[in-house]
Chains A and B, each alone.
Chain A
Amino acid sequence: MAAIAATAPASTDKVDWRLAAPLGLVYLAFFAAPFAILLGVSFYADPEQTRLGFESWTKFYSDAFYLKVIFDTLKLGVFAVIATTLLAYPLALVFRAASARAQRVLIFIILMPLLTSVVIRTFAWIVILAREGVINQTLIGLGITATPLNLLQTELGLVIALTQIEMPLMLLPLLTIMNQMDQNLIDASRALGASKWRTFFRVTLPLTLPGWIAGATLVFASATTAFISQSVIGGARLVYLPALIYQQVTVVYNWPFAAVASLTLLFTVLAGIMALSWLGRFARTS
């Protein structure tokens, strides 16, 4: 206690790492140690875990089906990021221009999905997307289509649902950075003769990129690992890494193989996040 009191006010630029120790220890015990065990299990060659070997790894990475599962999982994350971006940017611009009162209403609307459980939101999407659901009934009622469209159990349906479910994660960082942006810069751009689009692409977009990167990271990580939404809306027709891991652990009891799939999911998500943060560094230096 005395030591902390003595060193804490010493300088403002020096960090006292001891403050991070509690969290560090928690991570060590509940993340690093299980991770090490997971890594160890992945090097068993058989489901009974009696023999060491690389068989689980080679089986996973030499099979085109499992490579496609990795690719599809990544693709789902990218699609979710694109869809949330396309909807979030216009809304963020509206939010910036709105009065304080309107902003409060908007924030409530934006946060509302976060206040409901993912399970409930996912099942609500079944009601909306089903053959006799809201969308199909509306389309048939308007005479746009005669037979109901297949929306459930398609990648499109899943991306639509994930876009709504993950939207707050994209919007919150974007709104924060959008509100900090200096209006003078936009006014200056317009005064110097740039069009609205040019101003958006040359001023607004680069300035808000860090917020977008934070949002995109959250959406990407969340969409690629959204087990409930993937299995309920995607169904068994679409196989993604989280469902594959669940199946291998609970039905097939092949834990080494599940460990390989888990590590793959972990590194896939990390690779996506690293690509985004690299983009962030690139954006700041250019």
Chain B
Amino acid sequence: MTQMNRRDLLAGAGALGLAAALPGYARAAGSLTAAIYPGTWEEAYRGVVAPILKKNFGVDVAFDALFAVDQVAKVRAARGVPPFDCFVLDPGPAAAAMQAGLFEPIDIKKLSNAAKVPKGLITSHAVTCNAQVVGIAYNPKKFPNPPKTWADLFKSPYVERLGLTGFQTTFGTVSLIEMAKAFGGSEADMEPIFKALKEAVPKVAAISTPAALPGLFQQGQVDIMYGNTNTVAILKGRGVDIAYIAPESGSITFQTTLHIVKGAENVDAAYKYIDTAISPEVQTALQNAPYNMVPINTETVLAPTLDIKSLDELSKMVTHDWTKINPQRAAWIERFNKEITK
């Protein structure tokens, strides 16, 4: 028995030693660690980006599955010793990370695909890898006449089947801002939406954490929610009765961006990774099922399954200034906590 234990211990210690030695070894071979959103993004980047990166550049990528806010929190907590080399962020967390000085500047000359990306999508510290389109998702079997405006969500019979989510996510925040506008408010005046929310709370089907919302839709707990086309397409692909509708005021769009983390160890590999992510080959593969991501490369021929017909549509959609939103967001979250919950 003692011998067994000793052997186990040795094996365990050996494994630990090996694990400690491995990252050093892998780094030497040309590799990086990239943060990636859990779920579809992780599947897509593991399944499409990683093999192409390996094939074209011989670079290995390890993924750290984290939501945008978690990535920023983790890098801030690491204080100069970043746990990964590359961020993938939505505009809100990206603006916060930019303010905190967590990005390395981007040298556009190191990206061979830069010319194929529309102007403005590569900035001094960010490379846009995909666009997201946000609007209303509903169950077409329960509602043959879907809600048409953001304000409709708060009317019967829609409100009774609505799933609410707060300001923790980008899609939640921008949707609530558009709802505020529908009731006469604005980014600077959110009072109307808080009033509408307060009246709606006793009636709504669920107030949920954003990650749990698609599950609640799938389980029939809610039949209407707000979200991006990507989520809708995935649920539809899994046989859920769900459809997307752009509100009359227009869909919202925002960009998802890749960034090199300040103090990253593998900057060269990170450039190759970003270059691969924006290449026509990857962008074309990612717009197809089951990923359904809106591409940003001008050489990509749009798939018919996407909810947009051309990239020009993106420029006509509603956008938001996150440098104005971020300073107010903590207060909105607190207000949502206090007034909407319970």
Q: Give chain A's interface residues, CB within 8 Å of chain B.
A: 47, 65, 68, 123, 126-127, 130-133, 152-153, 231-232, 235-239, 244, 247, 249-254
Contacts and interface: CB of A to CB of B under 8 A. Distances in A.
B205 to A, nearest CB: 7
A123 to B, nearest CB: 7
Question: Which 8 interchain pairs have the tightest Cβ spacing?
Answer: A132-B220, A130-B219, A250-B69, A252-B330, A237-B207, A250-B73, A130-B221, A236-B207
A133 B342 contact: no
A133 B216 CA distance: 11
B221 A231 contact: no
Contact of B76 (A130, A153, A253): A253
B73 A152 contact: no
B292 to A, nearest CB: 23
B238 interface: no
11 contacts: A126-B215, A152-B216, A236-B166, A236-B207, A236-B341, A239-B337, A239-B341, A249-B73, A251-B168, A252-B333, A253-B72
Contacts of B1: none
A232 B212 contact: yes
A248 B341 CA distance: 16
B96 interface: yes
Contacts of B164: 236
Interface residues of B, number: 32
B69 A238 contact: no
A250 B70 contact: yes
Contact of A239 (B70, B96, B220, B342): B342
Interface string B307-342: 000000000000000000000011001100110111
Contacts of A237: 206-207, 341-342
B165 interface: yes
A122 B69 CA distance: 24
| Residue from A130, A235, A249 having most chain B Cβ neighbours under 10 A | A235
Nearest to B220: A132
Contacts of A231: 209, 212
A135 B338 CA distance: 31
B249 interface: no
A127 to B, nearest CB: 7
Interface string B244-281: 00000000000000000000000000000000000000
Interface in B59-103: 67, 69-70, 72-73, 76, 96
